[in-house]
Amino acid sequence: MAKSDEIYVYSTLTSAQDYAIYETVPNSTPVLVKTIHIDGGANVANKQLYTPYGARTLVSAEDLEFLQKNFDFQLHIKNGFITIDKVKKDVEVAVLDMQDKDKSAPLTPETDSSLKQEI
């Protein structure tokens, strides 16, 4: 992939997403043409016990063209969980102005008062 073809998708979704592209075949069920994977993992501790604010996935211009036709991908952009950029940035910087958590993010004492412990 040439440097000019590099496109980065930044995500603050807790789970990775596989966006499916289907082809409509007459008198048949839709046929899966392609699946494009976008990394997730925001707000979930990894093996090193680091909790990232988001994730970055490199996609091709062709993949982006398919993604822009996908309803769920567009909904994630509209709701502030996904952004697209041609510039590779630090994930923490890229996600600063994005929606910080989706509804599947783990509960924490800051987000759920029932988890707060009195000492």
Q: What is the mean pLDDT of each run of 10 residues along the chain (119 residues)?
A: 80 94 87 94 83 91 94 94 93 83 63 64
Q: Does 79 map to a domain?
A: yes
pLDDT score, position 41:
87
DSSP reduced 3-state for 9: strand
Q: Does 53 map to a domain?
A: yes
Q: Does 103 map to a domain?
A: no
Q: Does 118 map to a domain?
A: no
pLDDT score, position 48:
82
* Domain count across the chain: 1
Q: Does 119 map to a domain?
A: no
The pTM score is: 0.79
pLDDT score, position 103:
62
Task: List the domain range (segments joined by +) for residue 75.
Answer: 9-96
Q: Does 26 map to a domain?
A: yes
